[in-house]
Structure 1
Amino acid sequence: MPSDNNARFGRIGIWSSALHPSEPAGVAAVSAAVAELDALGYGTLWLGGSPSLDQVVPVLAATRRITVATGILSIWDRQAPVVAEQTARIQRDAAGRFVLGLGVSHGGFNPNYARPYSTMVEYLDALDAAPDPVPPSQRVLAALGPKMLKLAAERAAGAHPYLVTAEHTAEARATLGPHALLAPELTVVLDTDIDQARTVARGMLSMYLQLPNYTNNLLRLGFAASDFADGGSDRLLAALFALGDAETVRARVDEYTAAGADHLALQVLTGDRRKDLPLAEWRTLAEALELPPRA
C-alpha cells in the first residue's frame, strides 16, 4: 500500500448514505455518530449516494482527523466551476481532510445522461480550468470498467469502485498500476443466520441489479443473467457481500486487501431499514478489525 494513501485514507472506512441527512433534525445525530467513528479509528467517511457539498460541511465540523469524501457526487447534478469553488472553500477550512468523489451515476437517474466517459473527461478539464482548480490529488472517481479506471489513475488520486468483487479489485489494481488509490466499497451484514443475512442483502441488491452499469460489470466478471434473478443468487451474494460474524468480515477484508485494495469502505446493512446509523455494528467492526482508537 502506498504510504500516502495509508496515511490519508486509512485501511478501513465507513460508507453510508445516512451521513448526509435530508432533514435538519438529523444533523445532530449524524454529528455525534461521525465524531464517534473518528474516535473509533476509521480512516475515511464516505458520504454515500449523491450528497451536496453543503452536506459535507457539518461532517467535517464534527470530526477532527478523519478524511471525509463524497461517494459520490454525480457530475450531472452540479456544474464543475461551482463544484470547484465550493471545494476550494471547504478545503480552506478542512486542512486537507476533504476528498471530492465524482461519478457518472446511471442513465435511469439522469435525463441528460450521455457519453459518460467523455463527459467525465470534460468535467475534469473544467475542474482543472476553474479559477480555484481541484487538484487531481483531491479527487477520486467511481470507476468499474478499464477506461474509467485508467482515467482515475491519470486524472485523480485513484478509484472508488462500488458493488465489486475481490476479483474485480485484482483486475482494477492491474489497470490502475501500483500507486493510485484503490478504495472499493464492501457491503456487510453482521448476522450469523445466513438465510436472514441473505434476505437483508437481497433487499439492498435488488435495486442495483436494475442498473446496467453494475450488471454489465458483473457479466464481465463471469456471472450470468440468471444470477440477477430474485435479488441475486447465493453465488453472487457470496462474491459481493461480507455475510456473517465479525471474523467473517475480517476475512473478507483481508481478501480484498490481498487483491490490491488500499482501503475498504464498509457499508453496514441491518435487518431494520429504519436503523440508518448502526452504531453497535460500527463499534463491533472497529474492534474486530483492530482499528487504532483516537483519544
Structure 2
Amino acid sequence: MGRWGITLPLTGVPLAEHRELVKELPDAGYTDVWTAETAGTDAFTPLALAAEWAPRLRLGTAIAPVYTRGPGLLAMTAATIAELAPDRFVLGIGTSSPVIVTNWNSQEFTEPFARTRDTVRFLRSALAGEKVSQKYPTFEISKFKLERPPQPPPKIMLAALRPGMLKLARKQADGAITNWLAPSDVPKIRAEVGPDFELVARIFVCPTEDVAAARGLGRLLISSYLTVPVYAAFHDWLGRGEILKPMHDAWAAGDRATANQVIPDEVVDDLIVHGSPQQCRERVAEYVAAGLDTPVINVLPTGDDPREAVRALAPE
C-alpha cells in the first residue's frame, strides 16, 4: 500500500484527547498526519505531540503560511519538529489567504509567488545550517544561523494550485500540496509537475450515507472556499468556470443562500467524498489511481465521534 494520510486535529476533539487515536494510526494503516493552520491550533504543536505518540508516522504541515511568521522563526519552528521526527517531517508552506494573513495577522499579502519563492530559497539555506545574509526580492535577512540545524533537513513542499506555483514547486521544492479537486482533476495537475514528484492532496470526506446531509455541508464549504479568488481561478483552470458561474454571481450579489442552492449535485459529488466508509475508501483510492501519491483525508463532521470515522476510514 502507498501513503494514506489523515488531517489532525479533528473538529470538536480537544488536542490532548487525540493521544490514543494517534497511537493507533500506524497499525491501522495510516502513514501520515498532516495539519492545517487557520484559526484553530497552529500547524506545528500537534505534530510535536504526534512525534512522541506515534514515532513511525510521517508528519507534515499543509500548510504553514509564509507571511505569518518571520522567515527566521519559520526556520526555527521547522527545525524543532525535524529534530523531534528525524527524516519524518515535511514542511509544507504556502501563501494562505488575505483573510488569514491581513485580516487576522495584520501582515501585507503582497507578491505571493515571489514571497513563496524567496521563502523556499531562504529555508533551504537556513535548514542546511548556513549563515544567511541575503537581500531577497521580498525580504532581507542579515546573519541568521540556526543554533541546531536538523540532520537531515526536512523536505519542503509547496501549496500549489495552478501552473505557475506548480512549476515553482517542481523546480525548487520536494513536492506539491493541493486540495479542492476531484479524481478526474489529478491528471491535469500531475502533467504540470511531471512524474516522480510527490503530489499530496487534502481530500474532504464526509462518511455518511445521508446524501442530503453530505451535500448540504458540501455546498456550504464549496461556496465558502471556491468564491475565494485563488480557488475560483483554480476551478476556472480545471474547467468548472461556467458551471460555477451562478454560484459566483449570487455570492457577489450578497445572496449566500442562493449561492449554495445553485451549486450542482455533480460538483458537490466531485469535490466531497461521501457515503459509507467503504465507499469513501474506494473514492479516495480513485485519486491515487489517477496519479495522486498521498491522499490526506479531512474528516467532515457527521454528528458522530470523528475518531470512530478515522478508524473506519483506515485502509483495508
Q: Report the TM-score when normalising by structure 2.
A: 0.79
Q: Could you tell me whether the CA contact under 8 Å between 1:136 and 1:156 is conserved in 2?
A: no
Decide whether aligned partners of structure 1 residues 99 and 29 sit closer, same or farther in structure 2, where only a CA change above 3 A counts. same
- Secondary structure in structure 1 of the residue aligned to 2:268: helix
Q: Could you tell me whether the CA contact under 8 Å between 1:200 and 1:271 is conserved in 2?
A: no
For 2:294 and 2:12, locate their aligned partners in 1 and report how far apart those are by CA, in whole Å. Answer: 22
- Secondary structure in structure 2 of the residue aligned to 1:95: coil
Equivalent position of 1:230 in the other structure: 260
Equivalent position of 1:79 in the other structure: 70
Matches of residues 145-156 of structure 1 in structure 2 within 5 Å?
Answer: 145-156=162-173
Pick aligned residue for 2:294 from 263, 269, 273: 263
Pick aligned residue for 1:28 from 4, 16, 19: 16
Equivalent position of 1:143 in the other structure: 160
Q: Could you tell me whether the CA contact under 8 Å between 2:160 and 2:177 is conserved in 1?
A: yes
Q: Could you tell me whether the CA contact under 8 Å between 2:210 and 2:275 is conserved in 1?
A: yes
For 2:12 and 2:25, locate their aligned partners in 1 and report how far apart those are by CA, in whole Å. Answer: 15
Higher helix share: 1
**What amino acid sits opposite 2:308 in the alignment?**
A
Question: Cα offset for 1:170?
Answer: 0.9
Question: Cα offset for 1:17?
Answer: 4.7
Question: Cα offset for 1:204?
Answer: 2.9
**What amino acid sits opposite 2:32 in the alignment?**
T
The alignment's C-alpha RMSD in Å is 2.4
For 1:179 and 1:137, locate their aligned partners in 2 and report how far apart those are by CA, in whole Å. Answer: 18
Q: Does 1:281 align with 2:272?
A: no
Q: How many residues align?
A: 273
Moved more, 49-58 or 68-77: 49-58
Identity score, percent: 30
Q: Could you tell me whether the CA contact under 8 Å between 1:227 and 1:235 is conserved in 2?
A: no
Q: Could you tell me whether the CA contact under 8 Å between 2:207 and 2:302 is conserved in 1?
A: no
Question: Structure 1 segments of 4 or more deviating over 4 A?
Answer: 132-137
Matches of residues 41-80 of structure 1 in structure 2 within 5 Å?
Answer: 41-50=29-38, 51-80=42-71
**What amino acid sits opposite 2:276 in the alignment?**
D
> Greater CA radius of gyration, 1 or 2?
2
**What amino acid sits opposite 1:70 in the alignment?**
T
Question: Cα offset for 1:212?
Answer: 1.1
Matches of residues 1-295 of structure 1 in structure 2 within 5 Å?
Answer: 10-18=2-10, 26-50=14-38, 51-111=42-102, 112-130=108-126, 131-132=145-146, 138-223=155-240, 224=242, 225-227=245-247, 229-230=259-260, 232-272=263-303, 278-286=306-314, 289-290=315-316
- Secondary structure in structure 2 of the residue aligned to 1:183: strand
Query: Which ranges in structure 2 are unaligned for 5 or more consecutive residues?
Result: 103-107, 127-144, 249-258
Decide whether aligned partners of structure 1 residues 222 and 33 sit closer, same or farther in structure 2, where only a CA change above 3 A counts. same
**What amino acid sits opposite 2:4 in the alignment?**
I
